[in-house]
């Protein structure tokens, strides 16, 4: 469904939402370690997110990446748009170009409600909302982060 690139990007943005703001930045090395993803690959992804104004960054000592309050207004859908593009989500599960409610493929009505529900969530729910939810419940965004949350709340 999502590429690795996009998974890393989403997890990074949630991580930055939880851990950072304009006063508290982290560098790629740290993010890559926390999320356990390949560092140079992640660096490229963060570049893309930054170029597209989903994530903020500053160079130099004490610089790094962060998501500001404004950045937090974005959605997972915004990330997908930047990293993977959204065509995959418009396509029929069996690859038929004209598949629709009117001309359904054999799995259309199995897959379609699922897709709608997920898409609605991805389009409507902001990173801020996700961050709140992760803080209040115990959602995981990496093994390490999971441990951090577990420990800090116990």
Partner DNA sequence: TTATTTAAAGATAAAAACATCTTTTTTTGT
Partner DNA sequence: ACAAAAAAAGATGTTTTTATCTTTAAATAA
DSSP string, 25-75: -B-HHHHHHHHT--HHHHHHHHHHHHHTTSSEEE-STT-EEE--TTGGG-B
Considering the rule CB under 8 A, would residue 40 count as an interface residue with its own copies? no
Is 7 or 125 the residue whose CB approaches DNA more closely? 7
In the set 22, 24, 36, 44, which binds DNA (CB under 7 A)?
44
Q: Does 26 bind DNA (CB under 7 A)?
A: yes
Classify residue 24 by burial, with Cβ atoms within 10 Å: 0-12, 13-18, 19+: exposed
Identify the residue among 21, 52, 57, 68 touching DNA (CB under 7 A): 57
73 binds DNA (CB under 7 A): no
Write down the residue that tokens 């997890």 correspond to. Answer: 11
Listed ranges 20-28, 57-65, 67-75, 111-119: which one lies at the site for its own copies (CB under 8 A): 111-119
119's torsion region: left (phi>0), alpha (psi -120 to 50) or beta? alpha
Give the DSSP H/E element, type plus range, for residue 8. Answer: helix 4-19
Q: For residue 68, state whether it binds DNA (rule: CB under 7 A).
A: no
Stretches 22-30, 45-53, 59-67, 87-95: which one binds its own copies (CB under 8 A)?
A: 87-95
Binding of residue 60 to DNA (CB under 7 A): yes
Residues from 102 through 141 that contact DNA (CB under 7 A): none
Report residue 80 as tokens.
């997908």
Q: Which residues bind DNA (CB under 7 A)?
A: 3-5, 8, 26-29, 37-41, 43-44, 46-47, 50-51, 57-65
């Amino acid at each position: 469904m999502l590429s690795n690139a996009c998974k890393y990007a989403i997890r990074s943005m949630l991580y930055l939402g939880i851990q950072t703001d304009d006063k508290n930045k982290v560098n790629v090395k740290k993010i890559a370690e926390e999320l356990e993803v390949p560092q140079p690959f992640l660096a490229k992804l963060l570049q893309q997110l930054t170029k597209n104004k989903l994530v903020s960054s500053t160079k130099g000592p004490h610089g790094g990446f962060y998501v500001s309050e404004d950045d937090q207004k974005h959605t997972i859908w915004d990330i997908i748009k930047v990293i993977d593009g959204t065509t995959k989500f418009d396509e029929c599960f069996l690859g038929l170009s004209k598949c629709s409610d009117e001309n359904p493929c054999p799995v259309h009505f199995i897959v379609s409600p699922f897709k709608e529900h997920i898409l609605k969530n991805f389009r409507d729910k902001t990173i801020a909302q996700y961050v709140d939810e992760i803080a209040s419940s115990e959602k995981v965004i990496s093994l390490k982060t999971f441990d951090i949350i577990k420990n800090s709340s116990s």
